[in-house]
Amino acid sequence: MGRVPKKVVVDFFFDVVSPYSYIAFELLQRCNVKWENMDLKLKPVFLGGIMAATGNQGPAMLPIRAQYMNKDLPRLAEYYNMPFQFNAHIQKLFFQKGTLPTQRVLGVVKKDYPDILESLSSDMFRRVWADNEDITCDGILKTACQKAGLTDTARDEVLSASISDTGKQELKNLTQQALDFGAFGVPTYVAHLDDGPKMIFGSDRLFLLASYLGHEWTATRND
Ligand SMILES: N[C@@H](CCC(=O)N[C@@H](CS)C(=O)NCC(=O)O)C(=O)O
């Protein structure tokens, strides 16, 4: 029998509000199929909490950087061959209602229904950054939980848990974990290597994660 490669735990801290997290998430899903030694742990966080705790600001707050992002994101999506469009409800998403309810639901799903966390996260990312949906609308989380395969009872339990103190605390704990590793934004990855955890920031730093796991950063463009 061949030697079973040792798995490296990789935490992926993300918030669906973040377009760069969307790009990283899509790329990591491609990598996850090929990198047998990666044990990917999805960790939803609240980006607003990370920003408040570190005194950081989203890149779109600087007008000239927002202008650059308007070009950078479609270019990246085209390069990586992934669906992308700017969300028409961005004001609501960034500055008014935000993604707290979504991230809390993902936090509860991570704890209680981890098997559907990936598909639900993927669905919510796509709704925001590919399908131009307003995910702050009533009913979207309910529909998404159903689509991800929860029964009506499980879906209702998840939605009520997400607004309970325990559900709120769950997301706070995940966000604190990211902060404890030194996160100041998303996407953030932590590779738990033998010589200690390595925190990496940015969809443009996945080549480093690849090298820590012993892979070439090549085949992700058109997969
Ligand atoms: N260069 C990074 C940029 C990532 C980025 O700007 N992330 C935003 C959220 S969408 C953030 O948290 N930024 C914090 C910062 O840049 O300090 C990438 O390509 O992924």
Tell me the pLDDT tens digit for each residue of 88-147. Answer: 998 888 888 899 999 999 999 999 999 999 999 999 999 999 999 999 998 999 999 999
Catalytic positions are 18
pLDDT for res 179:
98
Q: What are the C-alpha distances in Å from 135 to residues 44, 89, 105?
A: 16, 9, 12
Cβ of 101 closer than 6 Å to ligand 1, yes or no, is: no
pLDDT for res 5:
62
pLDDT for res 2:
54
pLDDT for res 219:
57
The closest residue, in CA terms, to atom 15 on ligand 1 is: 185
pLDDT for res 50:
98
Token code pair at residue 76? 């990246």
| pLDDT under 50: residue ranges of the chain | 1
19 CA from centroid of ligand 1 (Å):
9
Second-level CATH architecture of 8-212: 3-Layer(aba) Sandwich (3.40)
Cβ of 56 closer than 6 Å to ligand 1, yes or no, is: yes
Cβ of 18 closer than 6 Å to ligand 1, yes or no, is: yes
pLDDT for res 212:
96
Q: What are the C-alpha distances in Å from 81 to residues 27, 74, 125, 222, 223?
A: 10, 10, 16, 6, 8
Looking up tokens 């590793």 gives 181
Cβ of 152 closer than 6 Å to ligand 1, yes or no, is: no
Cα four-point dihedral sign 213, 215, 216, 217 = negative
The closest residue, in CA terms, to atom 16 on ligand 1 is: 59
pLDDT for res 171:
98
In this prediction the ipTM stands at: 0.99
153 CA from centroid of ligand 1 (Å):
37
pLDDT for res 88:
93
59 CA from centroid of ligand 1 (Å):
6
